[in-house]
């Protein structure tokens, strides 16, 4: 179902989902062409979680994300050119090229930390919520993380303090499903957790926790709105598990685009390789969103095709911007490495 929003806001969400999708597909292509080196992860398949969720936040809320942060940054209104420049290690990147893909942390968008250290952002986000509560600032902290984060020891500690102190923090767990050998329980999660369903872990700490279909933008929107309202009203932390089906292109360590996203795919997947066709037909959140927009009469395929083309142009401009940006000067290796306790937080 679609979020109950006016057409212009729905189309804006569609544009953002397409931007995430096209940015990531282009990034995979650039890596395959060996135009940049280094590891990276993509957000493909989780767009209908991040885009509606982040659209409900206030400008001064504080966000924390993981190794899969590109989609969150673009959903928050991030500039794809600056994001790409950061991934390429260039000077115009959000962190002057020092963060790279895993650690791009655009402070101006409210991202205090994106980190490849699995689970590491939960204590940080909980601490930020403690600061917000102490200052009565009205901000909330939002931790966006994968199911694997729950394996980390610091996470139950964070839950305990957040619950005891009724901290304004939202834990949004993006469970992108099982894969590989690391799935000891046989449950629908990639993490090796003795706990199943995952919501039982926060619930043990008296944190209200629910599951939602992460490919259903309307369900995500409703769950988030209710949780965010409760957090802002002072009821303490909430936990949401958004369930998606892992994009087949992400099954290995190096992503592969099996079928480039196109508007027509929303209605006809016959051109998709047979072994991955099910995912595009049943589990692709962007194709689902486009189908729902048309079926509900908010738009038609032609308008979506124009939108998709415009997003493709935006991504090409971002690619040019990223590669045109220079590498930082050698001397910059020593700047912005340690925080200066005397200077205000930037």
Residues that bind ligand TPP (CB under 6 A): 67-68, 116-118, 146-149, 176, 190-191
Q: How far is the CB of 139 from ligand TPP (least distance, A)?
A: 25
Residue 186 or 234: the one with the smaller Cβ distance to Mg ion is 186
Contacted by 292, from ligand TPP, Mg ion, none: CB < 5 to 8 Å by type: none
**Closest to ligand TPP by CB, 43 or 321:** 43
- 93 contact partners, CB below 8 Å, separation of at least 6: 82, 83, 84, 85, 86, 87, 99, 104, 325
Residues of this chain, 113-172, that bind Mg ion according to CB under 5 A: 146-147
Q: How far is the CB of 123 from Mg ion (least distance, A)?
A: 19
Residue 148: CB minimum distance to Mg ion, A: 5
Which helix (H) or strand (E) covers residue 172, if one does?
strand 169-175
Q: Is 346 exposed, middle or buried, given 0-12, 13-18 or 19+ CB atoms closer than 10 A? A: exposed
What does 72 bind: Mg ion, ligand TPP, none (CB cut-off 5 to 8 Å by kind)?
none
Residue whose CB is less far from ligand TPP, 109 or 117: 117
Residue with tokens 């047979």: 274
**Least Å from the CB of residue 193 to Mg ion:** 11
Pairing state between β 111-114 and 141-146:
unpaired
Shortest Å, Cβ 299 to Mg ion: 32
Q: Which is nearer to ligand TPP, 146 or 168 (CB)?
A: 146
Contact flag: residue 215 with Mg ion (CB under 5 A):
no
For residue 202, the minimal CB distance to ligand TPP (Å) is: 15
Give the nearer residue to ligand TPP in terms of CB position, either 176 or 243.
176
* DSSP one-letter code for 67: T
Copy the structure tokens of residue 177.
Answer: 């499903």
Coil, helix or strand at residue 4: coil
**Rounded to an integer, what distance in angstroms lies between the CA atom of residue 137 and that of residue 134?**
8
Task: Give whichever of 121 and 161 is closer to ligand TPP, judged by the CB atom.
Answer: 121
C-beta of residue 170 within 8 angstroms of C-beta of residue 140: yes
Contact residues: Mg ion, CB under 5 A: 146-147, 176, 190
């Amino acid at each position: 179902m679609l979020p109950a929003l006016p057409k212009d806001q729905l189309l804006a969400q569609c544009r953002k989902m397409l931007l995430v999708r096209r940015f990531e597909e282009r990034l995979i292509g650039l890596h395959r062409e060996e135009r940049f080196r280094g590891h990276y992860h993509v957000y493909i398949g989780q767009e209908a979680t991040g885009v509606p969720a982040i659209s409900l936040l206030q400008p001064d809320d504080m966000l924390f994300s993981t190794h899969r942060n590109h989609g969150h940054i673009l959903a928050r209104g991030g500039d794809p050119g600056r994001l790409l420049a950061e991934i390429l290690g260039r000077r115009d990147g959000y962190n002057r090229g020092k963060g790279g893909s895993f650690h791009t942390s655009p402070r101006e968008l409210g991202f205090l930390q994106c980190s490849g250290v699995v689970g590491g952002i939960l204590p940080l986000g909980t601490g930020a919520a403690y600061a917000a509560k102490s200052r009565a600032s009205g901000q909330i902290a939002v931790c966006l993380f994968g199911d694997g984060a729950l394996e980390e020891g610091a996470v139950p500690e964070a839950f305990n303090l957040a619950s005891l102190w009724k901290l304004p923090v939202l834990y949004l767990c993006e469970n992108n499903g099982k894969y590989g050998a690391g799935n000891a329980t046989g449950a629908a999660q990639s993490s090796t957790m003795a706990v199943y369903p995952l919501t039982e872990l926060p619930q043990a700490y008296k944190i209200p926790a629910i599951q939602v279909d992460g490919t259903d933008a309307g369900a995500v929107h409703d769950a988030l709105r209710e949780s965010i309202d409760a957090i802002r009203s002072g009821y303490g932390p909430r936990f949401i598990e958004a369930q998606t089906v892992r994009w087949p292109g992400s099954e290995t360590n190096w992503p592969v685009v099996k079928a480039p996203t196109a508007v027509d795919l929303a209605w006809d997947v016959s051109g998709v390789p047979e072994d991955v066709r099910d995912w595009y037909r049943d589990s692709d959140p962007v194709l689902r969103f486009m189908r729902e927009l048309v079926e509900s009469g908010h738009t038609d395929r032609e308008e979506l095709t124009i939108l998709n083309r415009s997003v493709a142009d935006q991504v090409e401009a971002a690619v040019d911007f990223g590669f045109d940006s220079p590498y930082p000067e050698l001397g910059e290796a020593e700047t912005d490495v340690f925080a200066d306790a005397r200077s205000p937080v930037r």
